[in-house]
Amino acid sequence: MEFILEKRQAHKAVVGGKEVIIFSSNDYLGLSAHPEVLRAASEAAALYGVGTGGAPGTTGTTSIHGELAEAVAKFISRDHVALLPSGYQANQALHHSLDSDRTVFYIDNRHHPSALDGVRLARNSRLVRFDHNNLDALKGAILAHRGMNNIVSLPSVFTVDGDIAPLDKLNEMKQKLGFLLILDEAHATGCLGETGRGVEEHFALKGAADFIMGTFSKALGSQGGFIAYNKNVVSHLRSHFRTLEYSTSLSAVSAAAALKSLQLLDSNRSLMQPLRKAKQLIIDNCAALGIPLISKESMIMLLPSANTDTLQGRLFEAGFLTITVKAQFASGTMPCLRIIPMATHNENEIKAFVDAVKVNL
C-alpha cells in the first residue's frame, strides 16, 4: 500500500482523511515534532529563508552549518565532518572519494544501496561482496588481497532486519589485518548505545571506525547526512566529495532542526528511555498473545506473515500505519511487517496495536 500523509505529528498522521498511528517510522525519538526543534527550524527559516540558494563553496554555507558540523564532530569524537543534503548522498560520496586502483571494497550483502552505488562510481576500485555477517568469508577475501587498500563497509544497524554489525569481532580482525572500516550509522545514531552515540558506544569501542556516515533524517528527526573522520585517514580520500561540492547545501532549516535535536540528545540522557520502554512494551504484549515477533538489540522488529499485504490493510482499517518488507532468513526470504517503536508511543496505543495484530494475523 502507498500512503500519502496529509498531516503528521510524530507518531500520529492523517491518511485519506483517516487518523492513524504510525508503527513503522524511522523518527525513533519523535524529535521531528519536538517544540524546541520546531522553534529552531522556524527561527532559521526567518533568518535564512527555506533554501540556501547555493552549494557549500559558493553561497550555501551559513553559521548554522558550521555549528552543526562542530556538534556532530564532538558528539561522535571525530576531527572532520562534512554535511550533505541526504544520507544517501553521503554514502555515495564517501565510497566514491576512496576510489583508487589499489582499493578493494568489501561490502556485506545486505548493505544499503547507497553504499553500493558509491562503490559503482568508484570505477578504479574492486568490489568483493560477502554473505551477511560472515566474518570468516570476509577474512578469507581480505587475505587474498594483501597489500591492497582494503576497505570494509557495512551498516551498524541493518535497515531491513535490524541486525547489529558485530563490531567487537570486526575490530579484532581489523587490528590483525589492517583494513579501513566504514560504518553506516543511519539507524544507530540516537537509538543505539547508552547515550545514542551508536554502535561504537554499544560495544565500548570508541574510535573503531575510520569513517562514519550518518543521517539526520531518522532519530534526529530532520533531514540531511554527514561524513565524519579523523585526520589520520585524510590521505585515503582521493577526491573531493562530489555530491557535496556540486549540490545545493542542506537547508539552514534542516540544519537548525538537526542541531537542536543533537543538543537535546547530548544534554538529556533520559531522552532514549521512552523509546526503550515502548520497544519492551511491544515485545511483552506480543509475547503475551503468542505473536511471533522477531526482536533484536536494535529498534527494528519484524513480524513474518504469509499474507503481509492483507495484514497491513486490515491494520490500516483499524487505525495503524505499518510498512512491509521482504526479509532474508536462513530459511529464505519472507514477507514481514517492519515494526518500529517511537518514544512518543504510549502504553494504550501499543496495547491497541498489538491486539489489532493478533485479531488480524
Same domain, 56 and 159: yes
Rama region for 299: left / alpha / beta (φ>0; ψ in -120 to 50; rest): alpha
Please name the residue that has the C-alpha cell 524529535: 31
Same domain, 23 and 135: no
Give residue 261's pLDDT: 98
Half-sphere exposure of 199 (CA within 13 A, CB side): 32
Give residue 279's pLDDT: 98
Total domains, the chain: 2
Long-range interactions of 121-125: CB distance < 8 A, separation 24+: 121/92, 121/95, 121/96, 122/95, 122/96, 122/98, 123/99, 124/99, 124/100, 125/98, 125/99, 125/100, 125/101
Cα–Cα distance between 94 and 91 in angstroms, integer?
5
Mean per-residue pLDDT pooled into runs of 10, the chain (361 residues): 93 97 98 98 97 94 97 97 96 96 96 95 95 96 96 96 96 98 97 96 98 98 97 89 91 98 94 97 98 96 95 97 92 94 98 97 90
Give residue 332's pLDDT: 86
Give residue 330's pLDDT: 80
CATH code of 86's domain: 3.40.640.10
Give residue 278's pLDDT: 98
C-alpha cell belonging to residue 45: 527559516
Same domain, 148 and 228: yes
C-alpha cell belonging to residue 38: 520546531
Same domain, 301 and 182: no
Q: Which of 240, 267, 294 is the last residue of a domain?
A: 267
Cα–Cα distance between 344 and 8 in angstroms, integer?
13
Give residue 2's pLDDT: 84
Same domain, 143 and 207: yes
Same domain, 81 and 147: yes
Q: Which of 267, 290, 319 is the last residue of a domain?
A: 267
Same domain, 230 and 301: no
Give residue 181's pLDDT: 98
Same domain, 249 and 305: no
CATH code of 332's domain: 3.90.1150.10
Give residue 238's pLDDT: 81
Give residue 138's pLDDT: 98
Q: Which of 232, 267, 302 is the last residue of a domain?
A: 267
Same domain, 121 and 262: yes
SS3 9: strand
Same domain, 108 and 243: yes
pTM exceeding the 0.85 threshold for the entire prediction: yes
Residue numbers of the domain that contains 123: 35-267
Give residue 250's pLDDT: 96
Same domain, 236 and 276: no
Whether the CB-CB separation of 128 and 105 falls below 8 Å is answered with: yes
Same domain, 171 and 202: yes
